[in-house]
Amino acid sequence: MSGLRICLIASSRFPVAEPFVGGLEAHTHALTRALIERGHSVTLFAGEGSDPALGAQTLVAERFEPSPGARRDVGAPPLQWMQEHHAYLALCLELAATGADRFDVIHNNSLHHLPVAMSSAIEVPMLTTLHTPPTPWLESALPYASERSRFVAVSGFTARQWQHSVPASVVLNGVDTARWRPGPGGGPAIWFGRLVPEKAPHLAIRAAQLAGMPLDLAGPVLDEAYFEAEVAPHLDAQLGPRIRYIGHLGSDALAEAVGHASVTVVTPSWDEPYGLVAAESMATGTPVAALARGGLTEVISAESGRLCASEDVAELARAMRKASGLSREQTRAHALAHCSIEAMVDAYERCYESLASERRAA
């Protein structure tokens, strides 16, 4: 495939840079890097502080301070909401004016509604990845989507959640299996991700205590009150297995820690659209014990992990012990076959080329 000119729109809230705040930023970084390596010209619009090696352009509006009268409006949206809205509005107006001369295809990898709502004003065909369950803002934008727009979801589960509003094909997220390389295992259990209530690391802590397994926690603390109430009291306790917070790590350090773990615990208290943590873990050979929520049931196999039907910590503790005994070679093999970034980028390239061909034909 000849190189395409791709406009890639990311989230404006967090930078696409190490250490990643979440899976969306890690996914966008890996996708951008892979597309550049395949010879495509990629212009990434992303949050302030994104990786300069990706040639990212900052997706941020001029700082806005409402007037005293506007601040008195009890119905005014939050200031951050308005700044994000204006950042995407400015980008969409720019793409409407000059995008046709600069790009063959737009890949909307953000969670914002404006790229979809304004796609009819932009001559370049747009592919939108649905990373989340339906949200009111994005749902309300769909009737205004251009007929040139296409949608993909990150799992069959997520596609089914959206099917009442929009048909979406499935492109499973992928991980860089060269970066997430095989590790020796044998160490403590690990939990990694954003330390927030909806990711429920407290369930992993309780299960590890029941299983008698030491547990490392890694990731950004985005809810200080939750961390202090549910996580901090268990850290480095004198009784029971050691529970340790090892910080917010970059990808290489995190892959090293996961590769040395005996099992990864995944405990979402919501339906995960995909479950990138599980794919990353399996790529290192570390099997997974997880709650059977959302797309995780499509990512984890019987050879690579154990799924729990409920949030019962005793069941999760049993799953941790069973998963830790699974073959690391078979776990890695499953990730190579089903979770590689190569397969994901192949699928996205087919989507891009289809949209670009339709535009050329028109």
Q: Give the span between the Cα atoms of 272 and 205, in whole angstroms.
A: 20
Q: Among 45-59, 94-108, 172-186, 206-220, name the one with the lowest average pLDDT.
A: 45-59
The alpha helices in the chain, defined as continuous H runs, are: 23-37, 68-71, 79-102, 114-117, 136-141, 156-162, 201-211, 224-226, 251-260, 276-283, 296-299, 313-323, 328-338, 341-361
Query: Position 362: which residue type?
Result: A
pLDDT at 284 over 80: yes
**Is the predicted pLDDT of residue 75 greater than 80, yes or no?**
no
Q: 189-338 — its CATH code? A: 3.40.50.2000
Residue 1 pLDDT > 70, yes or no? no
Q: What is the pLDDT of residues 149-181, one digit of tens each?
A: 999 999 999 999 999 999 999 999 999 999 999
Cβ atoms of residues 7 and 45 within 8 Å: yes
CA 328/CA 179 separation, integer angstroms: 17
Using CA atoms, how far apart are residues 361 and 356, in angstroms rounded to an integer?
A: 9
CATH 3.40.50.2000 is the classification of domain 5-174+341-361: yes
Same fold, 5-174+341-361 and 189-338: yes
* pTM for the full predicted model: 0.88
The answer to whether 54 touches 62, Cβ cutoff 8 Å, is no
Domain range list for the chain: 5-174+341-361, 189-338
